[in-house]
Amino acid sequence: MDLPVLLITNGVLLPEARLKYTLHLLGVSRARIESFALPIASVKQLYTVPGDLNDEIKVEFLRNLKDFLTYLTFESIESAITLKKLLEEKNFDALADFSVAQLREVSFSTMLDYLATLDTSRRVLLANEWIKECIKSQSDPNEQLKRDHHKELVKLGTLIPANDLAKLRDKAQNVVRKYGSRVKSGNSVEALEGKLRDAQLPDGIRDRAWEEYDRLKGMNSQQSEYNVLLNYLDLVAALPWSKSTPDHIDISKARQVLDVTHDGMDKVKKRVLEFLAVRKLTDHATGPILCFSGPPGIGKTSIAKAIAKSLGRKFERMSLGGIRDESDIRGHRRTYVAAMPGRIIQALKHAGTNNPVILLDEVDKLYAGVSGSPSAALLEVLDPEQNNSFVDHYLNLPFDLSNVIFISTANDLSQVEAPLLDRMEVIEMSGYSHREKLHIAQNHLLPRQLDKNGICPDHLIVNPDAILHMIESYTMEAGVRQLERQLGAVCRHGALKLAEALNTDIAADVVPELHLPIVIDRTAVKHILGIAKFERLNLVKKLGRFKPGMVFGLSVSVLGGKVMPIEATTNPGKGKVQTTGKLGDVLKESIEVAKTWIRANSGRLSCSSLTDIDAHVHIPEGAVKKDGPSAGCAIVSALYSLAANRCVRSDTAVTGEISLTGHVLPVGGIKEKVLGAHRAGIRRVILPESNRADTSELDDTIKA
C-alpha cells in the first residue's frame, strides 16, 4: 500500500519575503528524491525488504529494548501507547525504527544511512547494537559525565558564538579526561574491593566490612541506599585501623624546640618535657590528658603543635567552640539523610594514622542543647579505660583511641563541666610581661610580618624602644595578638614606601628619595598608628589625686588580669550601703562583710562607724558584670578611707578576701592580676601573706 511521503504539519505566511510560504513537513514513509527543481520535486516511495531474523536475535533485541526503556521518558502518552501496541504485535521493523528514533547519541549522517537501509534484519541488528551501547554508557559514570557536558553545550549553543562554543567544548573534554577516570575508578565497586583488601582491618571489623560489601554488590546502583552504603564502606577502608606513626622522642631537641618557639613559660615547658620523658621511657603509656588554660593569644595551640613535632606525630585541631550537638562528636546514625561521622573519626581519617595528636580547642565553649551534651560525649573519648573501643554512631564499629594523644585548651575553666574537667590535668598559662612580649616580638612576630609583607629584614628595622612603645601605648592584652597586628601595620607602611620608591613614574617631589634601611622609632610609630590607645599610667593620670573612698582593686577574667577602680561616697542617712556597677552576689556579700567589719572595729581604727550616714559603693564599667571572692580587702580599704577621711595612694592596688573576723584570705590569679596592674602603670600591689609563694612566678623586672 502506498503511503504519503510527507505531511504538511503547518505553514507560515511571509508577506514581505520573496518566498511567500514556509512549510513544516513530517516524514511518513521512506522515499528517494528522483529530481528536484523548485517548486516541484519528484520522489519515489521505497519499500522495506523482509529479512531473516533468527529467534536468538529477536529475544536479545526484545530484552535489550526493555532495558533501554527504563532510561526513557516519553513526551506524550501517544508515544507510550504506540510502543505498547508494537510490542504486542512484535513488529520488529517498526520497533527498530521507533527505538532508533529515541537515541540521542547517533549522529545525523548515521541516522540517514539507517533510514536508507531497506533490509529489515539489517536495521534490527543495527538498532540492537546501538541500544546495547546506550545501556552500557548509561551505567558508566565517565560516559554519563560526557553526556551531561554535551547536553549543557547543546543548551548553550544558541546563546554562545561558534568560536566560543568550540573553546568551551574543548575545556569540557579536558574536564572529562581529567576527572572522568577519577569518577570511574573512585566510585566503582571493584576499586572499593581493592581498598578494603589494603586497609588492614582488624578481625572483627573485617568480617563486618565484607558482609556490607557483599550486600552492596547485590544492590542496584539506582537504589537510594546504594550510595549511602558505598560512602560508608569508603570511610571504613580509609580509616587508619592499623597505621601508626613511630615516636621519635629526643628530649634535648624538644627542649630546644620549646625554647625557640616560646619565651618564658618555664613551668609549662617543664611539664611538657616531663610528659615527653614519660612517653619515651614507657611503651604504650596512657598518660594524662593535658589541658592548657589561660587568656587568648598566649600560645596554647602552638604548645600543642610543639608536642606533636617533638613526638614526630601528625597534628589535628578540632575547634569545639559553639558546638551544641552530641552528633558532632559521636556522629549521626546512618538512617538519617546526609549522615556523617563525628569530628573524632573525621580527624583520624584526615590524619591517616591511629596515633595523632588531636587538639580539642576551646572546650570551655561547649554547650548543651536539645540534641544532647557534647561535653558528656567527650567523657568516653577522654577516658583511657573506655576509649579503646570508641563507637561512632555513623561508623557503628569500635575504634581504638587509646594511642591518640588528646590535648585541650580553655580560656575559662569555670565553664567546663566538672566530670570533663576531672578527666584532664590542668596547666595554667598566664600572660606575658612587657619584657617577654618584647622578646617574642623581636624573635617571632616581626620576622613573620616582614616575610608576610615581602620585606627584606635589612630594609626595615624596628627599634626595641619602638616595640616597647607599641606594647605600652597601643596594646592592653595578656597575649600578643594585638601586638602582631600593630607590627603588621608598621610593616605595611614600610612596604608602601618601598613600592613607591621602585615606581620610577612618580615624580621626585611627590615621593622623596628613600634611604635604606627604613628605621622605625617612637615618632614613626605615632605617625603610623595614630594616637595612642592605652597610655601607660592612664588610670593614675585620668583619676589624678585620689579622694577618700577611692582605691584600685584587681580582677582576673578569661582575657587576663586588669585593674578595677572602686569608688565610695557618703550621703545623710541611717547606715545603709547602696551598690552599683552590675555586681554579682558574691561581690555584694563582700561589701556587706566589709561594712560590718568597719562598724565592729571603728573604735580601734579611730574612724566613723558609718551608722548615721549612707554609703554608696560603685565600680565603674557598669555594662560589664563583676563578681568573685577577691575584692574584700579593696572594699574594706575604700570604706575605711571614707570613714577615716584619708586617701589611699593612687599608685597602689589591693587584692585579697577578708573574713568577718578580719582575717585576710588568699586568692587566685596572682600572676595575672600583677601583670594587669603592671600594664596599667600601678607601682605597688598589696597581696595576702598567704600568696607570697605565688610571687615566685613573677618576672624580676616586674618585682623591681
Query: CA–CA separation, 182 vs 579, rounded Å?
Result: 70
What does the block give as the cell for 678? 603592671
Query: Could you tell me which residues are beta bridge partners of residue 664?
Result: 658
3-class state of residue 201 by DSSP: coil
Q: Active site residue: 630, 637, 641, 650, which one?
A: 630
Whether residue 494 is annotated as binding a ligand: the answer is: no
CA distances 353 to 238, 379, 645, Å, are 10, 22, 70
Residue 481 φ then ψ, to 5° = -65, -45
Longest Cα separation, the chain: 134
595 C-beta neighbours (distance < 10 Å), count: 21
Q: Residue 582 catalytic?
A: no
Look at the chain and count its residues. 704
Closest residue by Cα to residue 568 from 611, 619, 631, 621: 619
**Known catalytic residue: 673?**
yes
| Cell numbers describing residue 265 | 613559660
Cell 547517533, located at residue: 106
User: Is there a binding annotation on residue 135?
Assistant: no
Residue 299 known to bind ligand: yes
DSSP-assigned beta bridge partners for residue 279? none
431 is in an annotated binding site: no
295 a known binding residue? yes
Distance CA(174)–CA(548), nearest Å, equals 82
Gap between the Cα atoms of 637 and 607, Å rounded: 12
Q: Which residues of 195-212 are buried (b: 16+ CB within 10 A; e: fewer)?
A: ebeebebeeebbeebeee
Q: Is residue 301 part of an annotated ligand binding site? A: yes
DSSP letter, residue 601: T
User: Of the candidates 508, 490, 498, which has an alpha carbon nearest to the alpha carbon of residue 450?
Assistant: 490
Question: What is the Cα–Cα distance from 694 to 674, expressed in whole angstroms?
Answer: 11
Name the CA dihedral angle for 686, 690, 696, 700, rounded to a multiple of 10 degrees: 10
Residue 280 in marked binding region? no
The response to whether 533 counts as a known ligand-binding position is no
Closest CA to 642 of 580, 578, 543, 568: 568
- Catalytic site residues? 630, 673
Q: Annotated binding residues, as ranges?
A: 294-301
Detail the residues annotated as belonging to a binding site for ATP.
294-301
